[in-house]
Amino acid sequence: MVLKEDEETGKVPFVGGFILVNFPETEEQINKLKDHGLDFDRIIYLTDMNEEEPGIDIKKKIETIDELYDWEAENE
């Protein structure tokens, strides 16, 4: 993640929080993020207990997020 200065104000925007989906997965990945100055207040792991199709409920939630978020705007 690289924050750029606002062209008009010359200030770096404040980032109050962010959500990482499917990352970090290991303690090593967490430590690497911390080494780069990204520390966490909380890390929440979601577990899907669906016995017939493990992971299906979480996948449905992620698909809902994908439908609501404009990923193309992120590339602009």
Domain total of the chain: 1
Segment 31-67, tens digit of pLDDT: 988 888 777 777 777 777 777 887 777 777 777 776 7
pLDDT of residue 28: 93
C-alpha 51: how far from its chain's center? Answer: 27
**Residue 56 located in a structural domain:** yes
Q: What is the reported pLDDT for 75?
A: 62
Tell me, yes or no, whether 25 lies in a domain.
Answer: no
Q: Which domain holds residue 68?
A: 44-76
User: Does the N-terminal peptide bond of residue 24 adopt cis geometry, omega within 30 degrees of 0?
Assistant: yes
Cα separations (Å) of 47 from 23, 61, 63?
14, 12, 16
Domain assignment present for residue 51? The answer is yes
- pLDDT for the residue numbered 6: 82
- Tell whether 17 is covered by a domain: no
User: Number of helices and strands (H, E) in the chain?
Assistant: 3, 0
13 touches 22 (CB < 8 A): no
pLDDT of residue 74: 61
Domain contains 55? yes
For the segment 3-21, what is each residue's pLDDT rounded down to a tens digit? 778 888 888 877 777 777 7
